[in-house]
Amino acid sequence: VWLSKRFDRGIEVSASAYRAFRAPTLNELYRNFRVGNVVTNANAGLRAERLTGGEAGIAFSPVQRLFVRGNVFWSDIDDSIANVTLATTPALITRQRQNLGAIRARGVELSAVMKFERHWEVSGEYLLTDSTVLRFPANRTLEGLLVPQVPRHQFNFQVTYANAKWLVGAQGRFVSRQFDDDQNLLPLERFFTLDAEV
């Protein structure tokens, strides 16, 4: 369900609520794999994930060449499929795909686009995500930990120049620290990338 209302001066507010599900893939159900010293086993007994969520946002143009949008979101996922650590030795880490009891993802999205004259455009986006394990009766030590491979902060920006003959652009991306494992013991450090094209 989605609702939207436009006001004077280019202001628009919106809100939505939704439910969804995702069935486990054949890969998750039946395919074991190994990366380095980490073995991840499949699980033929996986159940479908079920998501309940909502979001609300506002968009406006304070000046003619500037567009700004903000959005907040909240979602709970029951039976989320995750790689759960079963055993750890110096030579081998064994994991299995399992249904967690529930996880929660909530956060804020901000974006802006600014056009200068006819040829220049600058845009940026920021995403704050708090994604944590709410409950997992099979292993209470995972409750309250961050979901693996979900960074808390992400930022993108892009600068573009375009005319009839040329297109020049640069794009940067920053991703904050995250974890590679369910126990939050193996950090993936923050990074920044920069791309350019002509």
Provide the pLDDT for residue 69: 96
Q: Which pLDDT does position 138 carry in this prediction?
A: 85
CB burial class (10 A; 0-12, 13-18, 19+) of residue 103? buried
**Residue 108: per-residue pLDDT:** 98
**What confidence tens digit (pLDDT) does each residue in 160-197 have?**
999 989 999 999 999 999 999 999 999 999 999 999 99
pLDDT at residue number 64: 82
110-123 burial, b at 16+ Cβ within 10 Å, e below that, comes to: ebebeeeeeeebeb
Residue 111 confidence (pLDDT): 97
pLDDT given at position 181:
92
pLDDT, residue 175, reads: 98
Q: What is the pLDDT of residue 118?
A: 83
What is the pLDDT, as a whole number, of residue 5?
A: 95
What is the model's pTM?
0.85
The 66-78 sheet, strands edge to edge: 2-6, 12-22, 49-60, 66-78, 102-116, 120-135, 153-162, 167-175, 191-197
Q: Report d(CA 183, CA 122) in Å as an integer.
A: 39
Name residues of the chain where pLDDT drops below 70.
Answer: none
